[in-house]
Amino acid sequence: MVISFFMPISHLNFIQSFLDYLKFQKRYSQHTIISYQNDLIDFFDFSAVQFTTSEPSEIKASYVRSWLASLKERGMEAKSINRKISSLKSFFKYQQKEGILLKSPMATIVSAKVKKRLPQFVAETDTATLFNYVEFPDDWTGKTHRLAFHLLYNTGIRQAELIGLTPAHIDTANNTIKVLGKGNKERILPVSSDLSALIKKYLADKQLLFANADSTVLLVNEKGKKLYPKYVYLLVKKYLASVTTIDKKSPHVMRHTFATHLMNNGADINAVKELLGHSSLAATQVYTHNTIEKLKEVYKKAHPKA
């Protein structure tokens, strides 16, 4: 943990206890835990400077509102502010759970209004161009890029889930893969026989070409090492730039693309929810908006009275 200049050691213990709870009981990812840590240190530093206290028991709702106002003045977007509100709410809820506080100062704090934006996705014509006409180099890097893209588009898995796939997760006989998602929740995803064959060939080539390749993961780079987030981001960005002009070109856009294409082609929303590994239907419903826009487009083009 990065020790703040302003915060007393006693309060750092409060934060560490909460972070340990997130890690060992909630099983949050390291990335998520670091986000919570940064949010909490930022707030309690602010409180120490502005209100000369960083003790949870002395925090008032007005202190939180002042902090939120300062974030807005710095130009922070509502979505990011809401994430920080969520961090504080979780922290103070934990303090209540542990019997340290009787009341949370977050009880009267409301989230900022966020302008709804539909998730960006790659058009079906563009994905067809990518897989049918764009050539991946005939070397190990090209093979890895090609398989990574097919997995992202055909399964909708997250970047971290892709990197974490292991050979043991692959069942080529039944054309399925096992994915370890958020909170260590497992889900079984169907894949096409073509993708299953591509994975099988990749594993065979990997065994032939690399004597010391990382055998704990499916995908490895040209050095036989496990992929890392920036590697996946850059390869997705590179190939999407050749077929689409959308602003965002990230692995998560491929997840949006997977879900949107399914919905546009009549997939049941509950099935899409299960495939994506969403814990609630609300997270999946954003894709129905894209479907409605598609229906409007079809209506305008096809209906005589449109």
Question: Each residue of 71-82: pLDDT tens digit?
Answer: 999 999 998 999
List the structure tokens of 214: 């990382």
Task: Please name the residue that has the structure tokens 């704990």.
Answer: 216
Regarding whether 57 and 187 lie in a shared domain, the answer is no
Residue 152 lies in a domain: yes
Q: How many whole angstroms from its chain centre is CA 281?
A: 16
62 confidence band (pLDDT: 50, 70, 90)? very high
Given 97, 132, 150, which residue is the final one in a domain?
97
Residues with a known catalytic role: 158, 182, 252, 255, 278, 287
Task: Please name the residue that has the structure tokens 């120490």.
Answer: 48
Regarding whether 263 and 151 lie in a shared domain, the answer is yes
Query: What's the pLDDT score for residue 94?
Result: 96
Residue 183 lies in a domain: yes
What is each CA distance from 272 to 39, 159, 261, 278, in whole angstroms?
32, 18, 10, 9
Residue 287 lies in a domain: yes
Residue 172 lies in a domain: yes
Query: What's the pLDDT score for residue 279?
Result: 86
Residue 112 lies in a domain: no
3 confidence band (pLDDT: 50, 70, 90)? very low
Regarding whether 293 and 251 lie in a shared domain, the answer is yes
Q: For all residues of the chain together, what is the average pLDDT? A: 90
CATH code of the domain containing 282: 1.10.443.10
Residue 109 lies in a domain: no
CATH code of the domain containing 50: 1.10.150
Regarding whether 291 and 217 lie in a shared domain, the answer is yes
Regarding whether 161 and 296 lie in a shared domain, the answer is yes
306 confidence band (pLDDT: 50, 70, 90)? low
Structural domains of the chain, count: 2
Question: 303, 296 in Cβ contact below 8 A?
Answer: no
Regarding whether 85 and 133 lie in a shared domain, the answer is no
289 confidence band (pLDDT: 50, 70, 90)? confident
Regarding whether 91 and 153 lie in a shared domain, the answer is no
What is each CA distance from 97 to 4, 58, 86, in whole angstroms?
26, 17, 16
Question: 287, 302 in Cβ contact below 8 A?
Answer: no
Regarding whether 128 and 275 lie in a shared domain, the answer is yes
pLDDT digits (tens, 9 = 90+) for 295-304: 777 778 876 7
Q: Rounded to 5 degrees, what angle do the CA atoms 92, 12, 64 make?
A: 40
- Residue span of the structural domain in which 202 resides: 124-302
Residue 18 lies in a domain: yes
Regarding whether 51 and 170 lie in a shared domain, the answer is no
Regarding whether 297 and 234 lie in a shared domain, the answer is yes
pLDDT digits (tens, 9 = 90+) for 142-195: 999 999 999 999 999 999 999 999 999 999 999 999 999 888 889 999 999 999
Residue 6: helix, strand or coil by DSSP? coil
Q: How far apart are CA 261 and CA 254, in angstroms?
A: 10
List the structure tokens of 39: 């949010």
List the structure tokens of 215: 């055998």
Residue 1 lies in a domain: no
What is each CA distance from 90 to 19, 26, 73, 259, 303, in whole angstroms?
11, 12, 24, 30, 50
Regarding whether 72 and 203 lie in a shared domain, the answer is no
* Beta carbons within 10 angstroms of residue 280's beta carbon: 8
Of 299, 272, 291, whose CA–CA distance to 121 is shortest? 291
List the structure tokens of 12: 């750092």
For residue 11, pLDDT beyond 70 = no
For residues 228-239, give the mean pLDDT. Answer: 96
Q: Report pTM.
A: 0.64
Regarding whether 152 and 31 lie in a shared domain, the answer is no
What is each CA distance from 25 to 85, 97, 160, 231, 295, in whole angstroms?
21, 13, 20, 30, 44
